[in-house]
């Protein structure tokens, strides 16, 4: 059973049950106060004369027949008093007018002369006229007029006046209209409630169902809008968030798949290059091309260099894979950064002096500043940056400079060189794996393409960041930031 049908049935029950309850309560009250249900008919009949005046009309017709049989009966007060007594039970009375003279009126009417004022004139013979309720003083009466021929074309009129309760009269007279209006109001109210609830409940649920069908078909390129702060609105927000995250997850998965394909292609190329060189030199030696000891020695040295390149590439790839899978253990410790950089600078100075590269270190950190660091992994970051700078040195006086300073709650290192620099369109990709600005993928100028990617992974594990800035033909600056403990 659908929710819509359930709501319709529930609203129908809300309409029927109150009506049935009202009827039952009314019957119980009548039984309690009147003794039995048969008295309902008596109650109805006791008020009937107040509304329709059927018995009053019957009495008027009886008077008319009596007059036609014996006109002098209208002069018989005993007869008229008897009729008045019967009418009094119905809160009614009698007024007789012969021509223009009032010849008789009920005793209760004699005390209220206003009842005989402004009586309607004679209409026509055998006319029966019922007038709307008329207010006389503080009370209301309903007039019934019967006109007939009286003795030699004389005009006789009988007026029957019924005292009515205005509220009871109004309710009884307009009961069908009021009942129908009540039903229309109840049905209209329930229709509006059903429409409102359908808009607030059914339509959002239908939207959710449609969204779920789209997701089932693999369509995530849409946006679900379910308004409201109620439970269904919250469900819509949660559903939309789920759809958005699922779409993002699929996008990332697709990107990972593309990266995986690119990674395999890059690995294949980078591994194949030194292997091809090694195979070429080995074939040359086997074919006797290296026919002198000097050539053989040169071939063997080249094979050893290529094997070292291959071994270094495999190590770099293995390290990056472990970092990417979060399987590389880190041994963090609190390190005095000033002392660490001073010792590392001295070691680097010794190595760069051999290569005739000018190195300058400017450590502006206070001696007491400490950071949480894995010494070996952070040294790899620094060494990768230095190696990257060395590959792109093209000046006659190569220079590398390091500046360390504090910036709020972080220690910042800037390592600059005066190398070839990086083109602006390539700068944003330098930390991507296997990316090389040199499209020829020359190992001497481009390295493995993993150095800066590994550096970025290690810096993220340290809770810091790494970024690059560069000017073509002027130099490159790599900035590292570590949180101070």
pLDDT tens digit sequence for 364-375: 999 889 999 999
Q: What is the mean pLDDT of each run of 10 residues along the chain (485 residues)?
A: 66 72 65 52 44 63 77 80 82 84 83 81 84 78 82 79 70 69 76 74 82 87 78 83 88 76 68 81 82 84 84 72 68 92 92 91 92 90 90 88 93 93 84 60 52 86 92 91 92
Inter-CA distances, 446 with 392, 425, 465, Å: 9, 17, 23
Q: 363, 467, 375, 344: which is closest to 406 by C-alpha?
A: 363
pLDDT tens string 193-221: 777 777 777 778 888 888 888 888 888 88
User: According to CATH, where is 1.10.287.130 located in the chain?
Assistant: 249-328
pLDDT of residue 59: 76
Distances 199 to 18, 191, 231 between C-alpha atoms, Å: 26, 12, 14
**Do 341 and 413 touch, CB atoms closer than 8 A?**
yes
* Residue 311 vs residues 208, 246, 347, 456: alpha-carbon distances, Å: 56, 40, 25, 22
CATH 1.10.287.130, domain 249-328, yes or no: yes
Instruction: Report DSSP letters for 339-363, one per residue.
Output: HHHHHHHHHHHHHHHHTT-EEEEEE
Residues of the chain with CATH 3.30.450.20: 52-173
Among 69, 64, 71, 121, smallest CA distance to 94 is for 64
**Pair type for strands 358-363 and 128-130:** unpaired
Residue 443 confidence (pLDDT): 46
For domain 52-173, which CATH number applies: 1.10.530.10, 3.10.310.30, 3.30.450.20, 2.70.150.10? Answer: 3.30.450.20
Tell me what pLDDT residue 48 has.
42
β-sheet bridge partners, residue 102: 97
Residue 425, strand partner residues: none
Which residues belong to CATH 3.30.565.10 in the chain? 329-483
Q: Would you state the CATH architecture of domain 329-483?
A: 2-Layer Sandwich (3.30)
pLDDT number for residue 27: 65
């Amino acid at each position: 059973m659908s929710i819509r049908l359930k709501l319709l049935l529930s609203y129908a029950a809300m309409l029927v049950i109150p009506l049935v309850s009202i009827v039952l309560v009314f019957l119980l009250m009548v039984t309690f106060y009147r003794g039995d249900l048969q008295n309902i008919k008596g109650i109805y009949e006791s008020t009937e004369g107040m509304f329709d005046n059927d018995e009053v009309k019957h009495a008027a017709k009886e008077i008319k027949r009596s007059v036609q049989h014996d006109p002098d009966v209208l002069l018989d007060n005993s007869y008229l008093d008897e009729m008045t007594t019967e009418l009094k039970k119905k809160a009614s009375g009698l007024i007789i007018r012969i021509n223009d003279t009032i010849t008789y009126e009920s005793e209760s009417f004699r005390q209220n002369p206003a009842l005989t004022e402004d009586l309607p004139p004679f209409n026509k013979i055998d006319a029966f006229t019922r007038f709307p309720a008329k207010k006389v003083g503080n009370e209301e009466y309903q007039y019934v007029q019967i006109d007939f021929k009286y003795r030699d074309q004389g005009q006789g009129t009988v007026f029957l006046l019924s005292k009515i309760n205005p509220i009871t009269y109004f309710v009884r007279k307009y009961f069908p209209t009021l009942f129908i209006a009540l039903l229309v109001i109840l049905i209209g109210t329930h229709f509006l409630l059903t429409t409102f609830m359908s808009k607030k409940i059914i339509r959002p649920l239908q939207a959710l169902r449609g969204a779920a069908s789209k997701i089932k078909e693999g369509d995530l390129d849409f946006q679900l809008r379910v308004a409201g702060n109620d439970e269904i609105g919250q469900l819509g927000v949660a559903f939309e968030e789920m759809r958005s995250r699922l779409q993002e997850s699929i996008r990332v998965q697709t990107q990972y798949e593309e990266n995986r394909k690119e990674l395999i292609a890059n690995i294949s190329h980078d591994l194949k290059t030194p292997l091809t060189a090694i195979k070429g030199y080995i074939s040359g030696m086997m074919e006797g091309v290296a026919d002198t000891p000097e050539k053989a020695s040169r071939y063997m040295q080249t094979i050893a260099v290529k094997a070292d390149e291959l071994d270094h590439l495999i190590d770099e790839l293995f390290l990056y894979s472990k970092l990417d899978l979060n399987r590389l253990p880190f041994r963090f410790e609190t390190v005095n950064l000033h002392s660490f950089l001073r010792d590392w600078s001295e070691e680097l100075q010794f190595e760069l002096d051999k290569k005739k590269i000018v190195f300058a270190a400017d450590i502006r950190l206070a001696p007491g500043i400490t950071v949480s660091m894995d010494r070996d992994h952070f040294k790899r970051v620094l060494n990768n940056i230095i190696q990257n700078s060395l590959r792109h040195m093209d000046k006659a006086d190569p220079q590398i400079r390091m500046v360390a300073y504090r910036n709020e709650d972080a220690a910042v290192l800037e390592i600059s060189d005066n190398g070839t620099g990086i083109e602006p369109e390539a700068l944003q990709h330098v930390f991507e794996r296997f990316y090389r600005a040199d499209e020829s993928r020359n190992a001497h100028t481009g390295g493995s393409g993993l150095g800066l990617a590994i550096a970025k992974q290690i810096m993220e594990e340290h809770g810091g960041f790494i970024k690059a800035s560069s000017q073509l033909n002027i130099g490159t600056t790599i900035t590292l930031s570590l949180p101070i403990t």
